[in-house]
Amino acid sequence: MQAQAPAPVGTSSSSFVAAAVAKTGPAVVRIDTEKTIASQAEPLFEDPFFREFFGDRFGAQIPRERQVRGQGSGFITQKDGIILTNAHVVSGADRVTVTLKDGREFAAVVQGTDEVTDLAVVKIENPAGDLPIATLGNSAQVQVGDWAIAVGNPVGLNNTVTLGIISTLTRSSAQVGIPDKRIDFLQTDAAINPGNSGGPLLNEQGEVIGINTAIRPDANGIGFAIPIDQAKTITNTLAMGKQVPHPYIGVQMRTMTPELARQNNSNPNSPFSLPEVEGVLIVRVLPNTPAEAAGLRLGDVITAIDSQTINDAGQLQSIVDGSGLNKSLQLNIIRGDRALKLKVVTSQLKNISSTP
């Protein structure tokens, strides 16, 4: 164990973890999935020379589809059997089985998934008996150095518990290595292994502060969790099977600084000159997007949105995310030596590999 934070007042260092897990552990479930994927036939059996001698006797026996099984974790949040987990745990599943810590097993159905945030809601189809539920905390109150308790089912080992601390509060998805997501993760040194995905990250009171979701294969002692506050905002939408709104304008960008501009402008091979200002540099305008329709171009520098000064790419992303769909945004941009104002109307993100 790497963490040495003090135990909560009124508990010993050995008892607060047990108390936290006793509170929420029964609501943590193992999720087993099955999905059917297309399987290509062995090329040999499709060879005309082979078929001339053996006909279709072998080809007919080759399955064109195969079953793939997966496993992850989740936790019950409502008495009617609503479960929070990761989208990548259940996405595309034809069959979902949920197993509780007490051994009860239920069939479940995927109510909704959101690939952009990697969140999903699963519901037990016919819940029998009293279901334990997890208490959701407030991730906005989490601080660096707080205890972090990860509960899940790594490599099939039911209700495994690991302990660490919160290392960082807002680790961007790009820094984690999954730039197609729109999440600022909690980072922890509590061990998060395969199968932990979808399980809860708890505070010392046993409240869920995050959803374990990612590990870095190139580093030990680093794990990531989606802040529970972000999950709260879309759980009901997913439970109703609705699409989660994700506004975007359709650009790829980077933070612009005077230093970056000077480096660019000193390069004789640079295709354009950049203003020595702070803002956001457009490095690509995606085709058939609001940005293209609005007339944004490669090399434009966005300095403000709706009169709010923009200093970095993360800030612009947050403003677009919070703007709503079909929202008209006024952009102040600098193009070469000209200051311009353009209006762009947000639309629903259709491809998660796109950025704002």
pLDDT at 339: 94
Q: Please state, in angstroms and rounded to a whole number, the distance separating the CA atoms of residues 199 and 204.
A: 16
Please report the sign of the dihedral spanned by the C-alpha atoms of residue 193, residue 142, residue 132, residue 114. negative
Tell me which DSSP letter residue 23 carries. H
pLDDT given at position 7? 52
Radius of gyration of the chain (CA): 25
**Token pair for 21:** 């897990």
SS3 content of the chain, % helix, strand, coil (to 5): 20, 35, 45
Query: What pLDDT score was predicted for residue 67?
Result: 81
Q: Is 24 helix (H, G, I), strand (E, B) or coil?
A: helix
Spot the catalytic one: 32, 73, 88, 167: 88
Parallel, antiparallel, or unpaired: how do β-strands 147-152 and 200-202 relate? antiparallel
Among 283, 288, 279, which Cα is nearest to 249's? Answer: 288
The whole-angstrom separation of Cα 79 and Cα 57 is 53
SS3 of 255, please?
A: strand
Tell me the pLDDT tens digit for each residue of 41-58: 555 555 665 565 555 555
| Whole-number pLDDT of residue 351 | 58
Q: For residue 324, give the DSSP letter.
A: -
**Burial readout 313-345 (b: 16 or more C-beta within 10 A, e: otherwise):** bebbbebbbebeeeeebebbbbbeeeeeebebe
- Provide the β-strand partners of residue 343: 330
Residue pair 231/112 in contact (Cβ under 8 Å)? The answer is no
Active site annotation includes 118: yes
Residue 197 is among the residues annotated as catalytic for this protein: yes
Q: What is the pLDDT of residue 1?
A: 46
| Positions in the chain whose pLDDT score sits under 50 | 1-3, 9-10
Which pLDDT belongs to residue 12? Answer: 54
Q: Which amino acid is at 25?
A: G
Question: Is 246 noted as a catalytic residue in this protein?
Answer: no
Residue with tokens 């091979």: 269
Identify the structural domains of the chain with CATH numbers, from first to last: 16-25+133-239 (2.40.10.120), 28-124 (2.40.10.10), 247-348 (2.30.42.10)
Catalytic residue, from 32, 73, 114, 118: name it: 118
Assign residue 216 a region: left if phi > 0, alpha if psi is -120 to 50, beta otherwise?
beta
Q: Measured between alpha carbons, how far is 55 from 49 in angstroms, rounded to an integer? A: 10
Q: What gap in Å lies between CA 344 and CA 331, rounded to an integer? A: 7
Q: Please name the residues in contact with 257: beta carbons below 8 A apart, sequence gap of 6 or more.
A: 278
The pLDDT of residue 145: 94
Q: Which of 46, 82, 206, 88 is nearest to 136 (CA)?
A: 206
pLDDT at 9: 45
pLDDT of residue 74: 95
Strand ranges for 11-159 from DSSP E: 28-38, 65-76, 82-86, 95-99, 105-114, 119-124, 147-152
For residue 192, what pLDDT is reported?
A: 85
pTM over 0.85: no
Q: Which of 73, 139, 167, 197 is catalytic?
A: 197
